[in-house]
Amino acid sequence: MNTPTQQDLIDFVVQEAALLDELRFDDWLQLFTDDGYYWMPLAHGQTDPRLHASLMYEDKLLLQVRIARLHGARTFSQQPSSRCHHLLQQPMVTARDDAAGVWTCRTAFHYIESRRDVQPLYAGWTTHTLVAQGGALRMRLKRVDLVNCDAAFGNIQLFM
């Protein structure tokens, strides 16, 4: 893979959110590296998911299990299925190390998850740590920082 342009990095973030909005979770999972993580901190400024509790801290295997549950015929919490929508601000490339092949993007978002007549709204920032792997960009880390991360939440069914 050639060194990605700033627009390539921005396009990756936008397309990643589109996969989630289209409920294409298997395709979305393939965007992660094998050692990738999806992290949603429980506190503002949290720096280490292993030393502190998190809302979510899932490796690729746990993400796979969660996706299988979403597809399951006996997953009654998903009958009818949840739907979601991401409204993104323009992603910003906040760090790039072309020599190491590591790039970071930060994106402010509003996210709605809808099921039946319940439609909670979440707001926050997503940080993507991207690497080149197999000739394409992949996520080593997707960190989702919610504005109200320390609030009490109901079940978050899908991925922000």
Task: Report the DSSP pairing between strands 121-133 and 136-146.
Answer: antiparallel
Against a cut of 0.85, is the pTM above it? yes
Q: What pLDDT score does 76 carry?
A: 67
- Which residues 6+ apart lie within 8 Å of 121 measured at CB? 110, 111, 112
The model's pLDDT over 114-154, given as tens digits with 9 standing for 90+, comes to: 878 878 899 999 999 999 998 899 999 999 999 999 888 88
Q: What pLDDT score does 78 carry?
A: 63
In the chain, where the domains are located: 6-72+83-146
Backbone phi and psi for residue 120, each to the nearest 5 degrees, phi listed first: -70, 150
The distance between the two most distant Cα atoms of the chain, rounded to a whole number of Å, is 49
Q: What pLDDT score does 152 carry?
A: 87
The model's pLDDT over 48-88, given as tens digits with 9 standing for 90+, comes to: 999 999 999 999 999 999 999 888 767 666 677 788 999 99
Give the pLDDT mean for 37-55: 94
Which residue(s) pair with 160 in the sheet? none
Q: Higher-confidence residue: 135 or 94?
A: 94
Q: Is the pLDDT of residue 158 over 90?
A: no
CATH architecture classification, 6-72+83-146: Roll (3.10)
**Radius of gyration, alpha carbons of the chain:** 16
